[in-house]
Amino acid sequence: MECERCGSPSVIDRPYDGSHPCERHFRASVRDRFRREMHRQFPRFSGGRIAVALSGGKDSAVALSLVHAYFDRRPGAEIVAVTVDEGIEGYRSATMGKADELARRLGVEHRIVRAKEELGATTDAAAARLGDAQPPCGFCGVWRRRLLNRAAREVEADVLVLGFNLDDLAQTVLMNVVRGDVDRLVRMAPHRRRQPGLVPRIAPLATVPEREVYLYARLAGIPFDHSECPYAGRAARNVFREVLWRLEETLPGTRHTLLRTRTKLAEALEAAGAGGAPVLCERCGEPSTGPVCRSCQYLDAAGKPLMEVSGSWGP
Ligand code: SF4
Ligand code: ZN
């Protein structure tokens, strides 16, 4: 196939909008969508720190590269990449190597936060202890969010950029709808306002499908790690991924529609009081939706002595 804009060989077929761009127009379209989302999700920037969650995988690597290019000519912007080491033997060390390579290439400050040091727990140890009772992505994701938020707050970041792509977000919308979790549907990124203790999270790759993020990373020569987490097969979202693939095949554009629907719903639900404001966890002092945050509850379940944990965080 040929690019509909210039006649050069196309690099991708996009059924959801009927286009099949060449490399040049494909890469430009990813940058355009990223820029549009940056303007929409983070409209008032007048200098400050931008924290970027960097795992070393394709999504966060592309997000950091585009954030770097976006703020390159804006005075007063300082970018800090943050990598969380959850403690997953044989997996995280490889992705962290790529994260470091990219941060160095871009000349971006890179901070590494280790769950073992900050929480006294690792995903491996908790997974071994909890066995089949608890899919590891549940506690691993909660702990990572807590560590990322804290790191972003410590560097006084105005915003925390996440590499979530269109597929990730559409899956999350569907999961929250199926579970009837209206509050989480409202609270999911991108955040429109600042809440006490929480650095607003934005997702400027929100309208770029996962395979386009991958293709962009390959074509742009962005270093990233290809390996998959050993626990990924147990993730609850896998079934939603499959359902969405099938829906997208039959009804191209489903993922975009889900995301737009969520935006409209969140506005109406927020106006009606859903989502709520966070309180501070009585054990660790981090933002929470109840007296004890989910991170502390998971630490309880994983058998970590809580005194040690609350001491390391402080109110
Ligand atoms: Fe953690 Fe699950 Fe991601 Fe693995 S796939 S790093 S267990 S959230
Ligand atoms: Zn807590």
Cα–Cα–Cα angle for 116, 122, 124, rounded to 5 degrees: 145
Any domain includes 161:
yes
Can you state the angle between helices 210-219 and 23-41, rounded to 10 degrees? 120
* Distance (Å) from CA 36 to ligand 2 centroid: 36
Any domain includes 286:
no
The Cα-based distances of 105 to 45, 64, 72 in angstroms read 25, 11, 14
* Distance (Å) from CA 95 to ligand 1 centroid: 12
Q: Which residues pair with 22 in a beta bridge?
A: 10
Residue nearest to atom 3 of ligand 1 (CA): 137
Any domain includes 114:
yes
Any domain includes 20:
no
Residue 11 three-state SS? coil
Q: Which atom of ligand 1 is nearest to the CA of 234?
A: 2
Chain center to CA of 302: 24
Residue nearest to atom 4 of ligand 1 (CA): 229
Mean pLDDT of 92-102: 93
* Distance (Å) from CA 208 to ligand 1 centroid: 21
Q: At residue 313, does pLDDT exceed 70? A: no
Query: Exposed/middle/buried for 71, CB within 10 Å: 0-12, 13-18, 19+?
Result: middle
Rounded-to-integer distance, Cα 226 and Cα 228, Å:
7
* Distance between first and last Cα of the chain: 59
Any domain includes 296:
no
* Distance (Å) from CA 43 to ligand 2 centroid: 31
For residue 68, which of 60, 118, 29 has the smallest C-alpha distance? 60
Q: Which ligand sits nearest to residue 143's alpha carbon? A: 1
Residue nearest to atom 8 of ligand 1 (CA): 137
Residue nearest to atom 6 of ligand 1 (CA): 229
Residue nearest to atom 2 of ligand 1 (CA): 137
Any domain includes 295:
no
What pLDDT, in 10s, does the model give residues 144-160?
A: 999 999 999 999 999 99
Mean pLDDT of 133-146: 93
212 is in which domain, residue-wise?
38-277
Report field, pTM of the whole predicted structure over 0.75: yes
Rounded-to-integer distance, Cα 26 and Cα 17, Å:
13
Q: At residue 75, does pLDDT exceed 90? A: no
Any domain includes 309:
no
Question: Could you tell me the pLDDT band of residue 304, with boundaries at 50, 70 and 90?
Answer: low
- Does the beta carbon of 136 sit less than 6 angstroms from any atom of ligand 1? yes
Q: Which ligand sits nearest to residue 146's alpha carbon? A: 2
Phi and psi of 78, rounded to 5°? -125, 125
What pLDDT, in 10s, does the model give residues 256-303?
A: 999 999 999 988 988 887 777 889 999 999 999 889 999 999 999 888
Q: Which atom of ligand 1 is nearest to the CA of 228?
A: 5
Rounded-to-integer distance, Cα 35 and Cα 62, Å:
13
The residue type at 71: F
Q: Output the average pLDDT for the chain.
A: 92
The predicted structure's pLDDT at residue 315: 21
CA atoms within 13 A on the CB side of 183: 8
* Distance (Å) from CA 149 to ligand 1 centroid: 17
Q: Which atom of ligand 1 is nearest to the CA of 136?
A: 7
* Distance (Å) from CA 42 to ligand 2 centroid: 28
Q: Which residue matches tokens 């506005």? A: 267
**Probe target for ligand 1 pocket from 123, 171, 294, with the most ligand atoms within 8 Å of CB:** 123
Rounded-to-integer distance, Cα 34 and Cα 27, Å:
11
Question: Could you tell me the pLDDT band of residue 44, with boundaries at 50, 70 and 90?
Answer: confident
CATH (domain of 257): 3.40.50.620
Any domain includes 17:
no
* Distance (Å) from CA 281 to ligand 2 centroid: 5
- Does the beta carbon of 235 sit less than 6 angstroms from any atom of ligand 1? yes
Question: Could you tell me the pLDDT band of residue 173, with boundaries at 50, 70 and 90?
Answer: very high
Q: What's the chain's length in residues? A: 315
* Distance (Å) from CA 229 to ligand 1 centroid: 6
Radius of gyration from C-alpha coordinates of the chain = 20
Q: How many percent of the chain have pLDDT more than 90?
A: 77
Question: Which alpha helices (DSSP H) does 188-284 contain, by range?
Answer: 210-219, 238-250, 254-271
Instruction: Count how many domains the chain has.
Output: 1
